[in-house]
Amino acid sequence: MQLELEKSQRFEGPNGPVLLIIMDGVGLGEQGPANAFYLARTPNLDNILSTHMIARLKAHGTAVGLPSDKDMGNSEVGHNALGAGRVFAQGARLVNQAIESKKVFNGRVWKAMLQRCGKGGTLHMIGLLSDGNVHSHIDHLFALVKQAAGEQVGRLRIHALLDGRDVEEKSALKYIDMTEHLLSSLNRERGVDYRIASGGGRMVTTMDRYEADWSVVERGWKAHVLGQARRFGSAREAVGTYYREDPSITDQYLPSFVVADESGPVGSILDGDCVLFFNFRGDRAIEISRAFEEGPDFDKFDRVRAPDVLYAGMMEYDGDTHVPKEYLVEPPAIDRTISEYLCAMGITSFAVAETQKFGHVTYFWNGNRSGYIDGNLEKYIEVPSDKMRFDEKPEMKAFEVAREVEDLLVSGNYKWGRVNFANGDMVGHTGVLDAAIKAMEAVDTCVGRLVDKVIGLGGVALVTADHGNCEIMFTERDGRRIPFTAHTLNPVPFAIVDSRPGKGFGSSNVREPGLANVAATLLNILGYEKVKDYEDSLIG
């Protein structure tokens, strides 16, 4: 399919570069003591948003393809919407539809897993145990478990990754108790053998992303597959013990654990078993999937043994490399992204972020597609993230990212670029208010530098975010401050700073504008009409 853009009769592209700045996890919320963005000293953003902001964009719920407006946005769906220019049904909605229609249970992969388990194998389910609805949802897990029991799967084990990030930071016991209640009921009523077998906090066990720290995956492998981690009689005992030993620890950083009885671990993964990774979001599912699927050349860590299992994901996590090979639910087919159109027109571009968000400005931006669209026209730069807690260094790699972007802008080789500053999201997830304030001050400095550079080069800078986070760092309950580590339902800013005197852009008065409106806006600023089925531009 040949992609073409029509030159605009209303908008003339600038002589200099166009830069889209994405402040990850920075929403517009109530200006109170919990708002790190509000409390931070941000003279550059104060000026930009007070002078040049033209819209508050919806970045959650149906505006980014999620089931309802009660669902907070996330970086994956946010960057999908920014890059695609349209709203696609996303992970949670797709899985909901597949489960409600029973399509998932009538599919080839589910039937193959049942057949294998019917020959004596155990069905293992690994994933994030929460209702955060960003990477997974406990309702999906429960539907799968109930279906397995109804189809006479005799032995099932759950490997519970603990959240504390997309939900309250110390809520693991709530989800563990819900799960244990279901399993106990099925064991009693169906005569099956269903148990929680292992687990650990998501930031230290299994759920690494972008190959930032393979030791996270190794710890998960040891716990889930080898049965090697600290042993407890139950998942509740494990979490309770860790809480008592370190009262300041939160769920996402809980060490790995294995549930064992007098005979040893109750659920190590063995030859002949089936393994389902029930997260629907891809970024933190790819590495563990590779560990299960890759052959003897796998070299990221010593697996000790690689059991012969049927492995499947809830979804295909990487459509280009086809990881995993088997999956239950088809991912959204996102085509004709803005980058595809601009590459087809020969427009040069760059994308820069540190490791934690590099895949967002590349893979997710490009419609869940790995690699370059056109390596002759594009330049992607990943700045390696530090392997440490982000509240310990809240500036993260913001200044290094800014320097890379400055060099690319000054080179004159690129007509447009996009950059992501991860701080508002990654530090926001820690729940540490003072660190989040420092994070936003670092972002402010970097945004100010880049906007000044673009204006000095005769270009246009766009400043926005992909979802909220750091603007709510705690909630209050019974007179106590409860750290809030999840994303929010708040809108995000959208501002345009133009170097041309008196130019300015008027608002197009789009009703309920969202992230998907940014692509058409970017096309207009570059001097093109919007693609016919893209969401409307934000400028008139």
Active-site amino acid positions: 75
Query: Are residues 147 and 186 in contact, defined by beta-carbon separation less than 8 angstroms?
Result: no
Q: In the Cβ-directed half-sphere of 196, how many Cα atoms lie within 13 Å?
A: 33
Crossing angle of helices 214-221 and 286-293, in 10° steps, is 60
Nearest Cα neighbor of 75 from 42, 20, 27 is 27
The residue ranges of DSSP E strands in 283-421, in sequence order, are 310-315, 327-329, 349-354, 378-383, 416-421
Pairwise CA distance, residues 178 & 516, whole Å: 37
Q: Where are the beta strands (DSSP E) in 134-202?
A: 155-162, 193-201
Q: Measured between alpha carbons, how far is 280 from 258 in angstroms, rounded to an integer? A: 24
Phi/psi of residue 2, nearest 5 degrees: -85, 130
Q: Which two tokens stand for residue 220?
A: 């998960």
Q: What is the SS3 string spanning 488-524?
A: CCCCEEEEEEECCCCCCCCECCCCCCEHHHHHHHHHH
Neighbours of 206 (CB within 10 A): 31
Q: E strands along 392-513, which residues?
A: 416-421, 460-464, 474-477, 480-483, 492-498
**Cα(333)–Cα(507) distance, integer angstroms:** 31
Locate the DSSP E strands across 279-431.
Answer: 310-315, 327-329, 349-354, 378-383, 416-421
* Residue 439: alpha-carbon gap to chain centroid: 19
Distance CA 470, CA 425 (A): 6
